[in-house]
Structure 1
Amino acid sequence: MVATLDKIFEIIHENAIEKELVWLEEKTINAKSAQLAFVATPRFIGKRPISFELDNNQTKNWTLDRLVRVYLLLKLENINPDGFEEQINTLFDTAEINESIALYSALPLFQNPEKWLLRATDAVRSNVGDIFDSIAFGNDYPVKYFSELAWNQLVLKCIFNEKPIHQIVGLHSRANQHLADTLSDFAHERWAAGRKIPAQVWRLVTHFLTDAIIKDLEVLFLSNDLQNQIAATLVCSETDNSEAEILLNKYPLSINSEMLTWEYLENQSAICYE
């Protein structure tokens, strides 16, 4: 906890001007002033975009005021551990959008993160895009604490709302059979309606191939859509499933090796929906 606080303050110090640092130091002397400062932050701290690494080598692209708000929350926990839960619940209940984003961003950094599971899943159900994004992307809380059901709901909501699933921390480590089967069913629904799904979504079925999903992969190979063909090739080349190997040999794809990556499909995903 102390190490995280020190690291965050170091990042703030590197990006803030003297007037902002003076204000911040004045507002962290007690719990009440820190809580009030959390709300007042945008009046005294700039919204300049900053990039930094905080944990697990994840590069975060936030604004300075967002990072300062997270810092204030961690200081609040450090200053007033006994009253912290009540204070945070009050902030959640009264938060506007940017305050909510900071709160959800701070969840994995709290001393007892699992205590805030219901708050985190509330963000998944939010209809406010920025709030949902604050828990879904670049946040390792879901991968560490969500149940399989909650995890799948998060991933599926990203797919339904045309959001970039590759920005979800731990996407591959939490892949599961139920999610793969649901994606297959979703693909059938889209195909029946004459539509498609982003090709990179198929990365989630690689280790959960069933007879039905093998048939889906053949549909992708035969679709005359290069992105689908790339996805099918990648899935079949990343599994030891014998039927997938047969498909790989039956439908060889000769393209530039730089295109035969999930990263290439990530860059194409924004235009996959019609």
Structure 2
Amino acid sequence: MLRPAHPSLTELELGFRKAARAGSARWPAEAARAAVAAGPARQRAVFASAGRACGRARIAAWPSWTCDDAARLLLLDVFVGVVPPCDAATLLRRLYDRGDAHERRAVLRALPYLPTAAASVALTRSLAEDALRTNDHRLVAAALGPCGYALEPAAWRQGVLKCVVLGLPLTAVTGLDDRADRELASMLDDFAREREAAGRSVPPEIAPLAALARES
């Protein structure tokens, strides 16, 4: 379930129409209908072309979302609604595996909006874990957004630490107040001591985050 801090599908669609490249406001709906009729190969091609078709401008009301993110979410909302759940899950996996960083991020961001029959906890966890194995800021942030609720606690803690290491703002982590715990505090303390022993600066986010985690 998405939390109120995140936009609804309707809010994203409205924001997309205002920010999308001229002439492309209706592109997701039109492209999705044509792609559904043509089959999976066309669906993958259309998904990949969203950035070229709609641009990558930020959506004013939700600036962490770009037009290509929103367009891909709108495409997926149609795709998974007209095929059997197993086929939808296969499509989501292929779009992620074969996509570039923009496309992978869009799949990760879309998962919490899609029916769980297609975007199951197991699939969401698998894709989020894969994203956390990269050092791509876009993918790490997306993996710790709403779909991060599918991560097991140990993987989630490692993801939070990775955010600190990469210098990502912790506002990217959904549910931080709820999930921070003493084990995370211990990991952060160890990391800070290692940095200090090596004569390196300690990221300023560590102290308040570790304090929050110890209070949990």
Shift of the alpha carbon at 1:197?
1.3
Q: Secondary structure at the match of 2:60?
A: strand
The higher radius of gyration belongs to 1
Corresponding residue SS for 1:19: coil
For the 8 Å contact 2:181–2:213, the answer to whether it is kept is: yes
Residue number among 65, 68, 87 corresponding to 2:68 in the alignment: 65
Residue 19 to residue 181, structure 1, CA distance change in 2 (3 Å): same
Does structure 2 conserve the Cα–Cα contact (< 8 Å) formed by 1:41 and 1:69?
A: yes
Task: Report the aligned-residue RMSD.
Answer: 2.5
Relative to structure 1, is the Cα distance of residues 181 and 50 closer, same or farther in structure 2, using a 3 angstrom cutoff?
Answer: same
Render the CA deviation track for 1:185-206: whole Å, top value 9, x for unaligned. 2222222222331233122333
Find the partner of 2:77 among 50, 55, 74: 74
Query: Contact 1:172–1:204 at 8 Å: present in 2 too?
Result: no
Is residue 51–residue 60 contact of structure 1 (8 Å, CA) maintained in 2? yes
Paired AA for residue 133 in structure 1: A
1:99 equivalent to 2:103? Answer yes
Partner of 1:177: 182
Go from structure 1 to structure 2 and tell me whether the alpha carbon gap of 1:61 and 1:207 turns closer, same or farther (over 3 Å shift). closer
1:8-65 deviation line (CA, Å, top 9, x unaligned):
333323333662134333212252354432112223212222233xxxxxx4422212
Find out whether 1:140 has 2:149 as its counterpart. no
Give yes or no for contact 2:132–2:159 (8 Å, CA) kept in 1. yes
| Distance in 2, Cα, partners of 1:118 & 1:169 | 18
TM-fit CA distance, 1:154 = 0.4
List per-residue Cα deviations over 1:193-244 (Å, max 9, x = no partner).
22331233122333565xxxxxxxxxxxxxxxxxxxxxxxxxxxxx6xxxxx
Q: Which residue of structure 1 aligns with residue 55 of structure 2?
A: 46
2:99 maps to a residue whose letter is: A
Aligned to 1:125: 133
Which of 157, 161, 164 pairs up with 1:156?
A: 161
Structure 2 partner of 1:28: 32
- In the TM superposition, residue 77 of structure 1 has moved relative to its aligned partner by 1.0
Determine if contact 1:117/1:145 at 8 Å carries over to the other structure: yes
| Letter of the 2:27 counterpart | W
Specify every segment of 5 or more residues in structure 1 that has no aligned partner in the other structure, as ranges.
53-58, 210-238, 240-274
Matched, 1:37 2:46: yes
1:145-224 matches, cutoff 5 A: 145-206=150-211, 209=214
**Per the alignment, do residues 16 and 182 of structure 1 end up closer, same or farther by CA in structure 2, a change over 3 Å counting?**
closer
SS in 1 for 2:16: helix
Equivalent residue letter for 2:69: R
Instruction: Normalising by structure 2, report the TM-score.
Output: 0.80
1:130, CA displacement in angstroms? Answer: 2.5
Bigger mean CA deviation after superposition, 80-89 or 17-26: 17-26
Conserved? CA contact 1:39–1:99, under 8 Å = yes
Using CA pairs below 8 Å that are at least 6 residues apart, which structure has the higher relative contact order?
Answer: 2
Secondary structure, aligned partner of 2:187 = helix
CA contact (8 A) 2:29 2:75 kept: no
Percentage identity across aligned positions? 27
